[in-house]
Amino acid sequence: MDFSNAKFKEVFFAIYNDLPRGGPGNYASTEKAYALMSALPKNPKILDIGCGPGKQTLDLAGISKGEIMAVDNHQPFVDRLNAAAKAAGLEHRVRAQNADMFKLDFPTEYFDVLWSEGAIYQMGFENGLKTLGKFLKKGGYLAVTEAVWLKADPPQEIKDNWAAEYPAMTDVSECLARINNCGYRIQGNFTLPQEAWLDDFYTPMQEKIAEVKERYQADPEAMDMMPCFENEITLFHKYSDYFGYEFFVAQK
């Protein structure tokens, strides 16, 4: 994803801005991960990092009855989430703000839960766990999803794709070791099901790409970029046995 290319950024957000989610995930997985946190206060303080359009933030608000601070550095997502929280009558418990996850400024050991679906990789998995961990109370919980290899020896085509997109991607056991190394005790982990990739992400993305192609048909530079988005979906259908998203829940 080359966001230094202004046209790529424009096309990317023309596709992503209105999707239900910014990455794989679903209600059932958010609920299952939350249930792995066994000793939370009644109204936990939750920080949702890289919240995107905030689907999981609102799901979490319903599941947790907590107070959620959600951060993302893309203003349209922040605005979307704040509007959706207001429409749902949740604005007293859910607030989104534009912030860079590398430069967050919250009190040390303030949150009961650090939540991040598909976003912490931006910081590097281990670096993210260490850097963001300071905002988590001792005994608080971390819940993150991370792209992982599910099988050894993936075919070259998918290996090359991830080498370009996320060269640091590793497997579940290495992620578990890294979480332990960063001072957390694993509470559980599970692989997101196929529908978490499709229902709120790739299926609506496919429809959106068709719409965006119509809009940009007179723009050859933009049209040249479309296969990149289409290919991501094709590769998922072809190789989803080999890679996936893993939900990790751990206690500090």
Gyration radius from the chain CA atoms? 18
Which of 12, 33, 50, 78 is in the footprint of ligand SAM by CB under 6 A? 50
For residue 196, count other CB atoms closer than 10 A to its CB.
24
Residue 186: C-alpha distances to residues 170, 217, 225 (Å): 17, 49, 40
Dihedral angle, C-alpha 125, 126, 132, 134, nearest 10 ° = 160
Residue 164: C-alpha distances to residues 13, 21, 229 (Å): 20, 23, 14
Q: Is 6 exposed, middle or buried (0-12, 13-18, 19+ CB in 10 A)?
A: exposed
55 contacts ligand SAM (rule: CB under 6 A): yes
- DSSP structural state of residue 228: H
85 contacts ligand SAM (rule: CB under 6 A): no
Span from 5-13, 16-24, 155-163, 235-243 in contact with ligand SAM (CB under 6 A):
16-24
146 contacts ligand SAM (rule: CB under 6 A): no
CB of 218 to ligand SAM, least distance (A): 28
Q: Under DSSP, is residue 203 helix (H, G, I), strand (E, B) or coil?
A: helix
51 contacts ligand SAM (rule: CB under 6 A): yes
CB of 188 to ligand SAM, least distance (A): 19
160 contacts ligand SAM (rule: CB under 6 A): no
Which of 14, 27, 73, 130 is in the footprint of ligand SAM by CB under 6 A? 73
Length of the chain: 252
CB of 24 to ligand SAM, least distance (A): 7
Which of 11, 15, 23, 44 is in the footprint of ligand SAM by CB under 6 A? 23
Span from 67-75, 129-137, 175-183, 234-242 in contact with ligand SAM (CB under 6 A):
67-75
Which of 66, 118, 140, 244 is in the footprint of ligand SAM by CB under 6 A? 118
Tell me if 57 sits within 8 A of 48, measured CB to CB.
yes
Residue 109: C-alpha distances to residues 40, 96, 123, 134, 242 (Å): 15, 20, 20, 6, 37
Which of 17, 82, 97, 122 is in the footprint of ligand SAM by CB under 6 A? 122
Which of 28, 102, 185, 210 is in the footprint of ligand SAM by CB under 6 A? 102
Identify the helix (H) or strand (E) that includes residue 78: helix 75-87
131 contacts ligand SAM (rule: CB under 6 A): no
Which of 117, 126, 146, 246 is in the footprint of ligand SAM by CB under 6 A? 117
Q: Which is nearer to ligand SAM, 74 or 159 (CB)?
A: 74
d(CA 187, CA 251): 7
Which residues lie near ligand SAM (CB under 6 A)? 21-23, 25, 50-52, 55-56, 71-74, 77, 100-102, 117-119, 122
